[in-house]
Amino acid sequence: MLAILGGTGLTQLTNLEITRRQVMRTPYGEPSGALTFGTLGGHEVIFLARHGYGHTIAPHLVNYRANLWALKQEGVKRIVSVASVGGIRADLVPGTLVIPDQIIDYTYGREFTFVDGTDRAVTHTDFTQPYTQSLRSRILAASRIADVSCLDGGVYAAVQGPRLDTIAEVNRLERDGADMVGMTGMPEAALARELGLSYATIAAVVNYAAGRGDSCNGVNLDNVGKVAQGVMAHVRTLLECVVECDGD
């Protein structure tokens, strides 16, 4: 089964035919909300709003471990994450969709692993390729079928939030090789890998990162909301095609 983890701007899937909702309990606490079961394009999926269905959970307070554990417990094998990002690279203008292939983790203080020394032996997880290539390829193929433009590849910088970055911080991210900046990419991707889940991200560029484009004197948050609303319509179309292309 495939699950969709919605981020900012995607607290609900309007094209999802909901069949039931289920409150979950995990050894790591409660997920961001009840799991929403339904069909998308006639195919069964599970949807979970990462920040809660009222968008009340800040990026650094998301219970990533509970979210991933609950999805795994319900038989999920593949997760498509939707994340809003700021564009650093010149071609990542607001409204662009990109499927990143690498990630840099700048977060801190988050519960970032299931290997916590309490009930399982220490293991080391290969994270050379943080996103599952087969799932990335499926999303890109679906984008061509659905005629939704997506850029292939990019480095996602995961920062702490919830505040946005300074120009100097974005300059550092760019020097490190980052193409976009978001707040929820880690530890979510690493936790999915630890659980053996396929995982890929659809990154929606909703603003220029600080010091880029029209964000040299600050990010217009009202405009970010308008861009997010528009680009998420394309995300919904793409997700429906991804689900149709999915198979066990």
Predicted pLDDT at 6 = 86
Predicted pLDDT at 46 = 94
Token digits for 27?
Answer: 């050894």
Below-50 pLDDT ranges, the chain:
none
Predicted pLDDT at 118 = 66
Neighbour-count burial for 195-220, b at 16+ CB within 10 Å, e otherwise: bebbbbbbbbbbbbbbbbbebeeebe
Q: Which of 52, 38, 21, 15 is nearest to 184 (CA)?
A: 52
- Residues 222, 173: Cα–Cα separation, whole Å: 25
Domain map of the chain by residue range? 2-245
Task: Could you please state the CATH topology (level 3) that the domain comprising 2-245 is classified under.
Answer: Rossmann fold (3.40.50)
Question: Under DSSP, is residue 248 helix (H, G, I), strand (E, B) or coil?
Answer: coil
Q: Summarize the annotated binding site for substrate as residue ranges.
A: 183, 207-209
- Residues 42, 54: Cα–Cα separation, whole Å: 27
Q: pLDDT tens, 90-132?
A: 999 999 999 999 999 999 999 999 987 766 677 789 999 999 9
Neighbour-count burial for 91-122, b at 16+ CB within 10 Å, e otherwise: ebebebbbbbbbbbbbbeebebebeeeeeeee
Q: pTM, whole model, 2 decimals?
A: 0.94
Q: Summarize the annotated binding site as residue ranges.
A: 8, 50-51, 183-184, 207-209
Predicted pLDDT at 121 = 73
Predicted pLDDT at 120 = 66
- Residues 137, 157: Cα–Cα separation, whole Å: 21
Q: Summarize the annotated binding site for phosphate as residue ranges.
A: 8, 50-51, 184
**Percent of the chain with pLDDT strictly greater than 70:** 96
